[in-house]
Structure 1
Amino acid sequence: MLTKYENILVPVDGSKEAKLAFNKAVEVAKNNGSAIHMVHVIDTRAFQNISSFDSSMIDEATDNVKKTLDEYLKQANDAGVTNIDYSIEYGAPKVVIAKEMPKRYHTDVIVMGATGLSAFERLVMGSVTDYVSKYAPCDVLIVRTDASNQASQN
């Protein structure tokens, strides 16, 4: 028997992989009548080492992320998914996605891209996807294909 997912969490970071995950989550939501909560986590650790840091940098990043999330929201609505919202969070993406968000939104599946970082960032910071798959309290669907289950073209 297949589980019917009711609350889908989709982390988006602007990467091609996150877009594939978002598209897959929209299809799952349409087929199951699920709610989607999108989240983008602004990694505040990235700003800690900038000597000329000022809060306008975070404000600008937040504004850019909001535009992207609004576009995704419109796309989901156009596809017939209306039970969708988003939040912009601040902190360590691994922890926010794996531990904080599933509790807050009663998530039963996290749908995320296989990777959104460069090889160097994965080496230094570790893969967010890897961490989430190990520590999330719910199912994690790691997306490598498009909504038609076709391998993505690189």
Structure 2
Amino acid sequence: MLQSYENILVPVDGSYEAELAFKKAVSVAKRNGENSSIHLVHVVDTRAFQNISSFDTAMVEEVSESAKKTIEGYIEEAKQDGIKNIDYSIEYGAPKLVIAKDLPAEKNIDLIMIGATGLNAVERILVGSVTEYVTRNANVDVLVVRTDLDNKPALSKEQRKGQD
């Protein structure tokens, strides 16, 4: 029996890895038929703004507006590819919890497709990985995207620079 996913959550942050997750989510939604939907989310980590002494709401608005433009581009691309059910939200809070717990419950998500991080081992210890947290704590299936649409390893930052 093949698993069919109807509600796919894709966290996007403007990174190459998130773009790969988005593109694979479009492929999965197309294979799973008209009932499949994609929910894109960008989570503004409000903890990052707590250390700024002169907290400025204009900064949050700028980050949100930039995320909205990126997401709208993804939505247009998905619609051109035949996806009818796609929406998005911009959330505020701790990305780990919003992606792993809050949105799956709120949106009846049955699959989270998330890009693998580019963090090295030291950065993961210091910062922590959203992807790692989601894979360990989500109550739904999680697919960590590490390859491109041809299932070839994703290009490193250095390799992508060489293509420009």
Name the TM-score, length of structure 1 as normaliser: 0.95
Aligned partner of residue 152 in structure 1, secondary structure: coil
Corresponding residue number in structure 1 for 2:162: none
Which letter does structure 2 place at the counterpart of 1:105?
Answer: K
**Alignment partner of 1:87 out of 74, 82, 89:** 89
Residue 30 of structure 1 aligns with an amino acid whose one-letter code is K
Contact in 2 for aligned 1:13/1:116 (Cα 8 Å): no
Q: Match for 1:39: what amino acid?
A: V
Q: How many residues align?
A: 154
2:30 aligned partner: 30
Query: Can you list the C-alpha shifts for 1:111-154, whole angstroms capped at 9, x where unaligned?
Result: 00011557665332310011000110100000001122122222
Q: Distance in 2 between matches of 1:143 and 1:56?
A: 33
State the match for 2:160 in structure 1.
Answer: none
Measured against aligned partners, the alpha-carbon deviations of 1:44-70 in whole angstroms (never above 9, x if no partner) come to 000000112111110111111100000
Query: Alignment identity in percent?
Result: 61
Higher relative contact order, chain-length normalized (CA < 8 Å, sep 6+): 1
Instruction: Give the letter for the 2:113 counterpart.
Output: V
Structure 2 counterpart SS, 1:74: helix
Report the structure number with the largest CA radius of gyration: 2
SS in 1 for 2:43: strand
Question: Which residue in the other structure is 1:63 paired with?
Answer: 65
Distance change in 2, residues 1:12/1:120 (3 Å): farther
User: Which portions of structure 1, spanning 4 or more consecutive aligned residues, are displaced by more than 2 angstroms?
Assistant: 116-125
Give the distance between the partners of 2:89 and 2:81, measured in 1 at CA: 20
**Counterpart of 1:126?**
128
> Unaligned regions of 5+ residues in structure 2, if any?
157-164
Q: What is the match of residue 10 of structure 2?
A: 10
Give the whole-Å Cα distance in 2 for the aligned partners of 1:58 and 1:74. 24
Structure 1: gaps of 5 or more residues: none
TM-score by length of 2: 0.89
